[in-house]
Amino acid sequence: MLTTEHWQAGTAIINKLKENGYEAVFVGGAVRDFLRQKEANDIDIASSALPEQVKKIFKRTVDVGLAHGTILVLESHIPIEVTTFRSDGEYADYRRPTDVKFVLSLEEDLKRRDFTMNALAMTESFQIIDLFDGRLDLENRIIRTVGNPTDRFQEDALRMLRAVRFSAQLGFTIDDKSLEAIQFCAENLTYVSVERVTAELEKMWDSSNLQNGMSYLVTSKLSDQLPGGFPFQHEKWAQLGNPRNSLICWSFLCLLQETSSVSELTRTFKLSNESKQQIGQLVKATQIRFERLFTRDDLYSFNEDILIKAESLVHVLRDKIPPMPIDTIIKLKRSLPIQSKADLVISGKDLMDWFSKRGGPWLKEALAEIEMAVLHKKVVNDATKIKEWIMNESNSEI
């Protein structure tokens, strides 16, 4: 979230660059979001100063993308990226330019940017520099490439997915010619790395106009080119309510497949092990609800967040299943005698003392049996009662 302090820090950097004889302006998403009066994530500055010159002017810097001319300036406690005006060289692989050229003009730098709304610049006194009618497109809520759309998408296929992602984030329309060009170039999406595809999809999952993005993903034909051949039934996405996040959306995508395979999904999109574990839980809990109401064991197995998310997914995927009110789920879950093994008042050490036996596989078995007995209220969670129960009624061979 940008604050006045961020803009002040940015202005101070621009002023210092200008005092040293260089040009410098705000560029990119921050300018776009400033004009939309919306919060931006980060401030970017473009300058005619070369990276070495930026490093000479500011005492504390970090080389974050030297090859692309980006230096992180740590002038105040707010780090800000300064990038040298550049134009991109030839594009050899539909994704990255073979080289980047530092150029002296802001115009050249703005020309290489993807969309008119992202090719706006702003001076330190908040004067807008608008060479490609980006402001008009912003007002009309249109995503339009800078220059010929087919050429721009052929240079870099990621831009197609960025167009769709912005349509989800901003709720904007993709200009007709740009959309046609995406349909024409859609196959080139396969040249984009999975990591970049995943990052763009995750930004979409968190967007407030997800449905807009999902329908563009399908009408642009980009969805056919995504890895794994997952079905993007975009009509269904409209029903996914809020709050919505990556966990819900990945699980939803997985469940839209007839034979849902979490490991296939997480492998295809190179998701982290943590995501894999969470998606696995949510998919499993949702599939359980396709079959039955949550039982005591189900309520115990999954955490509250997973149970609530599963309940919301069930109704988008199977509208005939009678709902289990969220309040009821929470109440039932919270009234369980224990929430996890850690809540048991006894430990393995108690069992070893009671039976004068050393540890071994029997211990794990006996603890699991006690856990289930307490959960199902066969015995209360009290050391004396548990001791009595395990001595007299347990099935374990201790």
Q: Which two tokens stand for residue 368?
A: 């699991």
In this complex, which beta carbon is closest to ligand ATP, that of residue 44 or of residue 202?
44
In this complex, which beta carbon is closest to Mg ion, that of residue 26 or of residue 294?
26
In this complex, which beta carbon is closest to ligand ATP, that of residue 29 or of residue 51?
29
Residues 313, 308: Cα–Cα separation, whole Å: 9
**AA letter at 131:** L
114 binds, options ligand ATP, Mg ion, none, Cβ within 5 to 8 A by partner type: ligand ATP
**AA letter at 330:** I
Q: Is 47 in the site for ligand ATP (CB under 6 A)?
A: no
Q: Which two tokens stand for residue 99?
A: 């080289």
Residues 374, 366: Cα–Cα separation, whole Å: 12
Site for ligand ATP (CB under 6 A): how many residues? 11
In this complex, which beta carbon is closest to ligand ATP, that of residue 100 or of residue 299?
100
Q: Is 159 in the site for ligand ATP (CB under 6 A)?
A: yes
Least separation in angstroms between residue 28's CB and Mg ion is 6
118 binds, options ligand ATP, Mg ion, none, Cβ within 5 to 8 A by partner type: ligand ATP
Residues 287, 314: Cα–Cα separation, whole Å: 8
Of 284, 282, 288, 283, the closest CA to residue 321 belongs to 288
Q: Is 41 in the site for ligand ATP (CB under 6 A)?
A: yes
Backbone angles phi, psi at 141, to 5 degrees: 55, 55
Q: How far is CA 38 from CA 34, 35, 41, 144, 291, in A?
A: 6, 8, 10, 20, 44
Least separation in angstroms between residue 14's CB and ligand ATP is 17
Q: How far is CA 314 from the centre of its chain?
A: 22
Region of 15-23, 156-164, 276-284, 362-370 interacting with ligand ATP (CB under 6 A): 156-164
Of 248, 258, 260, the closest CA to residue 312 belongs to 248
Site for Mg ion (CB under 5 A): how many residues? 1
Least separation in angstroms between residue 117's CB and Mg ion is 12
Residues 352, 164: Cα–Cα separation, whole Å: 61
Q: Which of residues 103-142 bind ligand ATP (CB under 6 A)?
A: 113-114, 118-119
In this complex, which beta carbon is closest to Mg ion, that of residue 29 or of residue 51?
29
Q: Which two tokens stand for residue 105?
A: 């003009």
Q: Is 158 in the site for ligand ATP (CB under 6 A)?
A: yes
Among 7, 13, 29, 216, binds Mg ion (CB under 5 A): 29
Q: Are 153 and 220 in contact (CB under 8 A)?
A: no
Q: Is 10 in the site for Mg ion (CB under 5 A)?
A: no
Instruction: Name the residues that contact Mg ion, by CB under 5 A.
Output: 29
Instruction: Name the residues that contact ligand ATP, by CB under 6 A.
Output: 28-29, 41, 44, 113-114, 118-119, 156, 158-159
